[in-house]
């Protein structure tokens, strides 16, 4: 069990550029979640996948955001035309099926838009 | 909608003091409840959980009891250590999707 891996750890980008983050979940976990955390706040849910199917998206996920999980393994989160308000920590978590098992979080990708 | 409210921080305690961090929730149905901890520079780690009313979650000396009548899940520890300094998040999971809804977090600082 190598845990949930997120890359890159840090990303600085200019406003208007596109960025993509990657999450590698624990291999046997079929559910994968993306959250966003701003300074001094708790994580906010963005979207989740069960295997390769994206089953729920938050209203926080504007049209500029897209997430994929091809083949039900790793996932990518892309932000197009970044804005300063997108600056945050983006967290990935995975779980095995039911919510009662708890969730394993990655260390996150910190995005800074300048 | 579902929500979680935690006591505001920061909370500053001396080593070996008793800790309580209050957490209340609003949810339809029967959520599972969690406490996560975030140490400086690290990711979120599951501290403890409870899946039904009157369940007590415990780990590393921390405890929390799922109280349906008061919709609460307060975190307690009898004797804190400097190494417990971190941000603590209360969260609930409800619905088929199992997404977590977090409180805003409570920063704990323990002084020697």
* Tens-place pLDDT, residues A55-84: 989 988 889 999 999 988 999 999 999 999
Nearest CA in chain A to B107: A40
Pairs across A and B, CB distance < 8 A: 57
Whether residue A42 and residue B91 make contact (CB cut-off 8 A), yes or no, is yes
pLDDT surpassing 70 at residue B45 = yes
pLDDT surpassing 80 at residue B101 = yes
Considering only CB atoms, B102 lies closest to which of A42, A56, A100, namely: A42
- Average pLDDT on A51-57 reads 91
How do beta strands A109-113 and A19-24 pair?
unpaired
* CA dist., res. B95 & res. A102, Å (int): 14
B78: left (phi over 0), alpha (psi -120 to 50) or beta: alpha
The alpha-carbon radius of gyration of chain B (Å, integer) is: 13
Question: Is A15:A84 a contact under the CB 8 Å cutoff?
Answer: yes
Percent of all residues in chain B with a pLDDT value above 70, rounded to a whole number? 98
B78-90 pLDDT tens trace: 999 999 999 999 9
- Average pLDDT on A106-114 reads 96
């Amino acid at each position: 069990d190598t845990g949930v891996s997120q890359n890159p750890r840090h990303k600085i980008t200019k406003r208007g550029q596109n960025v993509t983050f990657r999450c590698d979940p624990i291999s046997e976990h079929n559910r994968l979640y993306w959250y966003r955390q701003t300074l001094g706040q708790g994580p906010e849910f963005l979207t989740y996948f069960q295997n390769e199917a994206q089953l729920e998206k938050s209203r926080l996920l504007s049209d500029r955001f897209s997430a994929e999980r091809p083949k039900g393994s790793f996932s990518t989160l892309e932000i197009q035309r970044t804005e300063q308000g997108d600056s945050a920590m983006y967290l990935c978590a995975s779980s095995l099926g039911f919510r009662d098992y708890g969730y394993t979080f990655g260390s996150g990708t910190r995005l800074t838009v300048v | 909608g579902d929500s979680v409210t935690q006591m505001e921080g920061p909370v500053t305690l001396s080593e070996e003091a008793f800790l309580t961090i209050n957490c209340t929730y609003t949810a339809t149905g029967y959520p599972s409840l969690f406490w996560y901890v975030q140490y400086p520079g690290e990711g979120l780690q599951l501290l403890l959980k409870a899946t039904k009313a009157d369940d007590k979650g415990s780990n590393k000396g921390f405890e929390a009891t799922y109280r349906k009548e008061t919709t609460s899940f307060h975190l307690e520890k009898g004797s804190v250590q400097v190494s417990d300094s971190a941000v603590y998040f209360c969260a609930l999971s409800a619905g088929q999707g199992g997404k977590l809804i977090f409180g805003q977090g409570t920063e704990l600082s323990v002084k020697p």
